[in-house]
Structure 1
Amino acid sequence: MKKYIYLSFICVVNLLVSCTDVIDVEVPTADPRLVIEASLDWEKGTLGNNQTIKLSKTSPYFDTNSSNPVTNAMVSVTRLSDNRVFNFANNNDGTYTTTSFEAVFNETYQLDVLYENEVYTATEMLLPTTEITKITQSKDGGILPDAIEVNVFFDDPDNETNFYIIRFQNQGDLFPEFRDLSDELLNGNEIRVFYEKRGDDENDKDNELKPGDVVDINLFNVSERYYKYMQLLNSQLGSGNPFSPTPVELRGNCINATNADNYPYGYFRVTETDERVYTITEEN
């Protein structure tokens, strides 16, 4: 009997030890691709001359220590109506800047990036953006009861098809949040978009907006293609819905004109923006 117990003990120990074995999983890798972050935003009330484009390369999923900036490219943007070229200076850190960009409504602009003997290009039209008419805060217009939400109001132009992106970022947060909105059912009406921060569960109050928080807000009127791009991006950013669509490779409007198979990631956007800053106040 003692021998049986001893042998059983040995088997259990061996089982536990075997459970701690390290299993090497071979993770598929892909060749690095160029990532183009080219958002030329013309803030209302400014000339919009100062613009920045960022270039980098993709990195392996588990590599968190490398940003892979691209420092040996040539970058320019051309206004196609008059072939006015705006060259972007290389800052040798992955950013390319200009202080002479000229923004003109309803003009089409073309991005050109020359990198490793290949040309990447994209086009986009600069659209005017309606103004934000007012910003309020409340506790009865969001999803969570008793949570503070920021309400942004603007008037949609009548007899036009418009697509909007609203960017919210609570100062101090690492990433912004985006809302995508079409005026398909709201044409010519006042539009309200709210921003409410939520925690992991209903009892997590620490992550909600509080008096003193400062929220940066940007309203953009964008092309239908960029609107659909952001719709897809938002649907894949941690919805938490087990029935949501399987994430897919997200490609923007940038193409490789030299080698189509070596396509880039990212987007070239040119738009006006109405930018506001709102501070959460004490409850009345």
Structure 2
Amino acid sequence: MKRFPFFLTLLTAGLALLSSCTDVVDVELPEPEPLLAVEGNITDQPGPYTIRLTKTGPYFQDQEPPVVRGAELVLSANDGTTETLRETAPGVYQTRQLQGKIGQHYVLSIKAEGQHYRAATEIKRIPGIDGLSQQYKQNEPGWDNGIYAFYNGPELPGAGDYYRFKIFLNGELQNDPDDLVVRDDALVDGRYIGGIELNSEPLQPGDSVRVQLLSLPQDYYYFLNEMFTQINNVGLFSSPPANVRSNVVNVDPAGPKAVGYFAGTAVRSARLTIQ
């Protein structure tokens, strides 16, 4: 045990030596031009549907992004339905009557700060959820003893479906970087999906579990995958940050670009109270 004080003494001396040899270098990073950031979606569930407009800021800036006020937003469907969104709060725009439908295509037109942007999306088909179930795991390899919740439901025949799973525990969305779960049906096309684990920590009686299944357009699936990569791109061997794709396009090709995504999704949900 006498080795540890000696080791700590050497470690402290080594750190002091390293700190004495360290020069502080101030690096001036150029500030990028702020870009329009779009966040919003339309679903097959009753509205209103919300679009948020902000501006991007410097990478290391720890402040709320500035909002974009006074923009003109028009949402159009391929069945001829059109609605102008109203600004209900600074930078927040909402529909009033338009109802999203599976199989419909939508175009969002945004006129803001002298620029005109467009974003196109669609609402894809979605399977139902048969329900959630619970199992008690005890002395099983890879499991802590306790109660776990599982997803059960079919997958529609025909490849090319994309999904996102949102999991709520006791009403709280599980929103850590690893909780962004998106999947395609390449390996499960048309099969029954049973026994998909929804929680990594054991649950207690009385806990509530709710899952939302969202259908995704293909490009939005890739957007979320790229976002997952960037969110989890940390550590000593992380790669340089890269821009994530966007479906918001400036009508003027020479004009400033935009970031973010306007997506169409269908939504199905199921709930379980642990017994």
- TM over 0.5, yes or no? yes
Q: 2:29 aligns with which of 24, 27, 30?
A: 27
Give the structure 1 partner of residue 161 of structure 2: 162
Per the TM alignment, residue 52 of structure 1 is displaced from its structure 2 partner at its CA by: 0.9
Relative distance call for 1:267 and 1:260 in structure 2 (3 A) is: farther
Provide the rounded CA distance (Å) in 2 between the counterparts of 1:139 and 1:242: 39
| Unaligned runs of at least 5 residues, structure 1 | 1-13, 198-207
What's the counterpart of residue 88 of structure 1? 85
Aligned-partner SS, 2:180? strand
Distance 2:142 2:30 in 1: 41
Q: Give, in angstroms, the shift of residue 225 of structure 1.
A: 1.2
Deviations 1:13-41 (A, max 9, x none): x9798568754332342111111112112
**What TM-score does the superposition give when structure 1 sets the normalisation length?**
0.76
- Kept in 1, the 8 Å contact 2:77–2:104? The answer is yes
Could you report, residue by residue, the CA deviation over 1:230-250 in whole angstroms, capped at 9, with x for unpaired residues?
Answer: 122223322668777654210
Matched letter for residue 68 of structure 1: P
Match of 1:196 in 2: 199
Cα distance in structure 2, aligned partners of 1:173 and 1:133: 21
Supply the RMSD in Å over aligned alpha carbons.
Answer: 3.1
Task: Tell me, yes or no, if the aligned pair for 2:50 and 2:92 is still in contact at 8 Å.
Answer: yes
Q: What's 2:189 paired with?
A: 187
| 3-state SS of paired residue (1:122) | strand
Q: What does the per-residue CA deviation read over 1:126-146, in whole Å, with 9 as the maximum and x for residues that have no partner?
A: 223211112123466x99521
- Three-state SS of the structure 1 residue aligned to 2:232 is coil
- The counterpart of 2:132, out of the listed 135, 139, 159, is 135
Residues of 2 paired with 1:238 and 1:190: CA distance? 31
SS of residue paired to 1:167? strand
Change (3 A) 1:33 1:240: closer
Match of 1:6 in 2: none
Whole-angstrom CA distance in 1 between matches of 2:207 and 2:234: 26
Distance 1:216 1:252, change over 3 A: farther
Aligned to 1:220: 214
Cα separation, 2, equivalents of 1:36 and 1:101 = 19
CA contact (8 A) 1:139 1:146 kept: no
Give yes or no for contact 2:86–2:94 (8 Å, CA) kept in 1: yes
- 5 Å-filtered alignment, 1:13-24, equals 23-24=25-26
2:233 aligned with 1:231: no
Taking the aligned partners of 1:112 and 1:90, their CA distance within structure 2 comes to 14
- Kindly indicate whether the alpha-carbon contact (under 8 Å) linking 1:165 and 1:181 is maintained by their aligned counterparts in 2: yes
Q: TM-score, normalised by structure 2?
A: 0.78
Distance 2:233 2:136 in 1: 23
Distance 1:35 1:146, change over 3 A: same
Distance in structure 1 (CA, Å) of the matches to 2:265 and 2:98: 13
Q: What amino acid does structure 1 have at the position aligned with 2:44?
A: W
TM-fit CA distance, 1:92: 3.6
> Which consecutive unaligned segments of at least 5 residues does structure 2 have?
1-15
CA distance in 2, matches of 1:15, 1:187: 61
* Structure-2 change in CA distance of 1:115 and 1:143 (3 Å): farther
1:255: which partner in 2?
Answer: 249
Displacement of 1:115 in angstroms is 0.5
SS for the counterpart of 2:44 is strand
SS at match of 2:67: coil
User: CA offset at residue 276 of structure 1?
Assistant: 3.1
Alignment-mate amino acid for residue 162 of structure 1:
D
Distance 2:132 2:174 in 1: 23
Deviates more, 1:188-197 or 1:93-102: 188-197
Aligned residue type for 1:61: Y
Question: Does structure 2 retain, via aligned residues, the 8 Å contact 1:168–1:178?
Answer: no
| Structure 1 residue 183: Cα displacement | 1.2
Instruction: Measure the CA separation in 1 of the matches of 2:187 and 2:19.
Output: 62
